[in-house]
Structure 1
Amino acid sequence: MRAGLKDRHLSMIAIGGVIGAGLFVGSGSGIAAAGPGILVSYALVGTMVVFVMRMLGEMAAANPSSGSFSAYADRALGRWAGFSIGWLYWFFWVVVLAVEATAGAQILEGWVPAVPQWGWALIVMIVLTATNLGSVESYGEFEFWFAGIKVVAIAAFILLGGLAVFGVLPGADNDAVGLSNLTAHGGFLPNGPGKILTGMLMVVFSFMGSEIVTLAAAESADPERAVTKATNSVIWRIAVFYLGSILIVVALLPWNDPAITKDGSYVAALNVIGIPHAGQIMNVIVLTAVLSCLNSGLYTASRMAFSLGQRGDAPRAFARTSKRGVPQVAILCSVLFGFVAVFFNYKFPDTIFLLLLNASGAIALFVWLVICFSQLRMRRIILSESTEPLRVRMWLYPYLTWATVAVIVFVLGYMLTDTTNGGGRDQVIVSVLVALGVIGIAVARELLQGNEEEPDGP
């Protein structure tokens, strides 16, 4: 672990971290459910993420750590909390590795069918594993270019779409000019205001990954400045890349256009604009987003495992580093479990792998809850240990923190109303059971360690 990430790496990791493959792939179903009101869903979830990132930024700027919120939970809430959320987060990203590797393999198989899908998944995982094993600079460089392509693609989409909406782009569909599509097909909330909540459930997990920059900052030359910069810029990043691009989609197309769900919202919008080969262009962008997520997922899982190893909550081997400062054992163990998850995805997609997906489904919300509760106590701990003012401060502390907790709990509760197979209820129930199991292990470890440390009686 060393300061190998440059400012440009961290800047692009921060920007690209909020642009996941879910934005490109999953937004269509949200638009179909909520209509133009999906903008409100994105705004509400985006606001929640801004608050969570502000809390995390406050702690990370004062005490940068490769374990990020897991290390802060350890100090603020107890060893059991740091242990539990650290392992749950690691598990989340290991499952994500399998999901993203499969998604990338599907695209690559379409281009080169001679290589089977499992072969492409294996190739992608091996290449990115080698990248992460090389040095943190290798990870940063790959992520710089992956994220750069995503950022340029979204910026170009917003620019071209905006020109089409204002009627100054040659070749665009005339029906796309103006903002009438926002209200012309049943109103702004065609399926009722309740669908805003449904939309929130569909988009909330596409924001996962914003917190990666606080882990990566620990391997930069000036962690405090990097975290401060990333935290302060999260508002415009979410506003531009999420709200801006989704606004373009629902302005260009009627929300109930079948192409939104059939072809994907961004492909459908590009077709309206008149961009040739829109499907293939979007496949390239989605593949880039997938590779970026894989690269960051492996990095994040390995750094969390490294931090757990340092604190004695994982095998000590996880905390060993190579001469280049890379936690190779943590990387190899993380990718090994990623390969196992990929195997389950191909062999038992509707049983074991579905169980893994459900078990990790609500972990993002658990992580955000832990960040909230940790910040409530860490503020007092930080101020008691230092006379320096906080470089990043959560607004309206502690009221906004408690309000964010209430919103997250509400979302978890609302997920229980989704009774579809593999839907919100399944995800919450299975994720809670897994979390309780991990917490049980953590508490048992503390009790055993406490008994071992007690002095013998007379």
Structure 2
Amino acid sequence: MSASSSHPDHLRRSLSNRHLQLIAIGGTIGTGLFMGSGKAISLAGPSILLVYLIIGVMLFFVMRAMGELLLSNLQYKSFIDFSTDLLGPWAGFFCGWTYWFCWIVTVIAEVVAIASYAQFWFPGLMPWVPILLCVLLLLALNLTAVRWFGELEFWFALIKIVAIMVLIVVGLGMVIFGFTSPSGQHAQLANLWNDGGLFPTGIGGLFAGFQLGVFAFVGIELVGTATAETADPTRNLPKAINAIPLRLLLFYVLALVVIMAVTPWRLVQPGRSPFVELFMLAGIPAAASLINLVVLTSATSSTNSGVFSTSRMLFGLAEENHAPRLFARLSQAAVPSHGLLFSCICLLLGAMLVYLVPNLVTAFTLVTTLSAVLFMFVWSLILVAYMAYRRKRPQLHAASTYKMPGGVLMCWVCLAFFAFVLWLLTLQADTRQALLASPVWFVLLAIAYGWKVRCAARAAPSPLGEEG
């Protein structure tokens, strides 16, 4: 058997429509919804619904732009390819490495969270044990075949969906039957506007909600990373993206409406999961254990997505000569195994470093804000690439069967929104620190890219055939 036959030179389209749909849902529902929504409600009150709606609508247009770009040329495997093609090699380099770093940072936060969730059942367990076991398990499954990633995400997303649907049904039942809490609070929709109106904390509370809300949507672009390994992308990718608005209304808006209808927003504890609180009120004693299992699943799902997407980014970067060629080599299962191993080593080292930081809360705020800033850079680059595509390839846009609504105008609206969110991050000391730290990453990338260009220039033969 030849080397080429034992090691494929291209990714296989092994992900079905079922996988892609659930990957899209998993990307839409983050751990932040289960654990971070309590803090978001306490800061913004019922106006948090508007925050999630606005962020969701903006990101839907980003996904539509990405969808049109990926389907305009099925040789594009991810945003690295169309960024390089439409904006130049620098864009592919910056986009790919930033997205890789985004997921490493996000997954470090998630695996540290997994350790704390595991201690709910095993208080004496050393934190590094569940972290190591989780990463090794996901690495082993992802090394076998891409369909295992798809299967894992399918079941992880299904657990999250069932948890949210049960919460909505239980909460609506409490409202319909006039449930009264032990403290005398009545479950009713009027709780949404009875206590200070829809904007009880004013414009400041609304702005604070945006700072938290953006991180809750991190991973929504994962369908774009999985496109190269999806069967029939021209049919399945539009279906996955078009369902985003409905999922937003169901999983974010309706779930939070139910939570605030049962428990007035002022009584929502910022440090606790409102999901647990609602189930406890409903008299379900195993609520804490059930939701802990769901949140553990959600964090593991995010880690699985990170392991998958970082390896595919390294594969794409290597194919564009933006990373060592070693990462472009596929295993017999058509999986970028070297990229998988490298990313897993990086996130394990990062998770160990987080434990060296004295204040874990400060560390988490820093890494999640940094991740949100860098994700916004990737989303913005997708929009800029779309505008370049409209200018350079008008014939492809004219022939497209999946055109982005609003076109270039909506790109500018979305970019203005991201600029607005960046300004909001300057208002709080902890988020401002992460915002000020983010240029360091881009300076390092610029130095690396300059070094890469100089090395390529030195390696290129002289036009006159002269030696060095």
TM range (shorter): over 0.9
* 1:199 Cα deviation after fit: 0.4
The number of residue pairs the alignment matches comes to 453
1:13 to 2:19 alignment: no
| Residue of structure 1 equivalent to 2:380 | 369
| Residue of structure 1 equivalent to 2:433 | 426
1:193 to 2:203 alignment: yes
| Equivalent in 314, 324, 332 of residue 305 of structure 1 | 314
Matched position secondary structure for 1:146: helix
Cα root mean square deviation, aligned? 2.4
Deviations along 1:297-320, whole A, 9 cap, x unmatched?
100111111111111100101011
Taking the TM superposition and a 5 Å limit, the aligned residue runs for 1:4-403 are: 4-64=14-74, 67-167=77-177, 175-257=185-267, 259-348=268-357, 350=359, 359-384=370-395, 386=396, 389-403=399-413
| Aligned partner letter, 1:455 | P
Gap runs ≥5 in structure 1: none
Kept after mapping to 2: 8 A contact 1:66/1:216: no
Output the CA distance in 1 between the equivalents of 2:318 and 2:22.
Answer: 28
* 1:171 Cα deviation after fit: 9.3
Deviations along 1:250-307, whole A, 9 cap, x unmatched?
11111111x5224322112222333332211110110110111111110011111111
Quick one: structure 1 residues 382 and 236, their matched pair in 2 at CA, closer, same or farther if it must change by over 3 Å?
Answer: farther
Matched position secondary structure for 1:183: helix
| Residue of structure 2 equivalent to 1:413 | 423
| Residue of structure 1 equivalent to 2:463 | 455
Quick one: structure 1 residues 396 and 263, their matched pair in 2 at CA, closer, same or farther if it must change by over 3 Å?
Answer: closer
| Aligned partner letter, 2:405 | W
Quick one: structure 1 residues 271 and 387, their matched pair in 2 at CA, closer, same or farther if it must change by over 3 Å?
Answer: closer
Output the CA distance in 2 between the equivalents of 1:260 and 1:39.
Answer: 17
* 1:167 Cα deviation after fit: 2.3
Output the CA distance in 2 between the equivalents of 1:451 and 1:29.
Answer: 54
Matched position secondary structure for 1:261: coil
Deviations along 1:201-221, whole A, 9 cap, x unmatched?
111111011111111121022
Output the CA distance in 2 between the equivalents of 1:145 and 1:228.
Answer: 22
* 1:390 Cα deviation after fit: 1.2
Quick one: structure 1 residues 65 and 35, their matched pair in 2 at CA, closer, same or farther if it must change by over 3 Å?
Answer: farther
Larger mean CA deviation between 59-68 and 394-403 belongs to 59-68
Larger mean CA deviation between 173-182 and 303-312 belongs to 173-182
Larger mean CA deviation between 110-119 and 289-298 belongs to 110-119
Question: Share of identical aligned residues, percent?
Answer: 34
Quick one: structure 1 residues 388 and 406, their matched pair in 2 at CA, closer, same or farther if it must change by over 3 Å?
Answer: closer
* 1:407 Cα deviation after fit: 0.8
Output the CA distance in 2 between the equivalents of 1:436 and 1:392.
Answer: 37
TM-score by length of 2: 0.91
Matched position secondary structure for 1:407: helix
Kept after mapping to 2: 8 A contact 1:80/1:446: no
Quick one: structure 1 residues 172 and 162, their matched pair in 2 at CA, closer, same or farther if it must change by over 3 Å?
Answer: farther
TM-score by length of 1: 0.92
| Aligned partner letter, 1:436 | V
Kept after mapping to 1: 8 A contact 2:179/2:186: no
Output the CA distance in 1 between the equivalents of 2:69 and 2:147.
Answer: 25
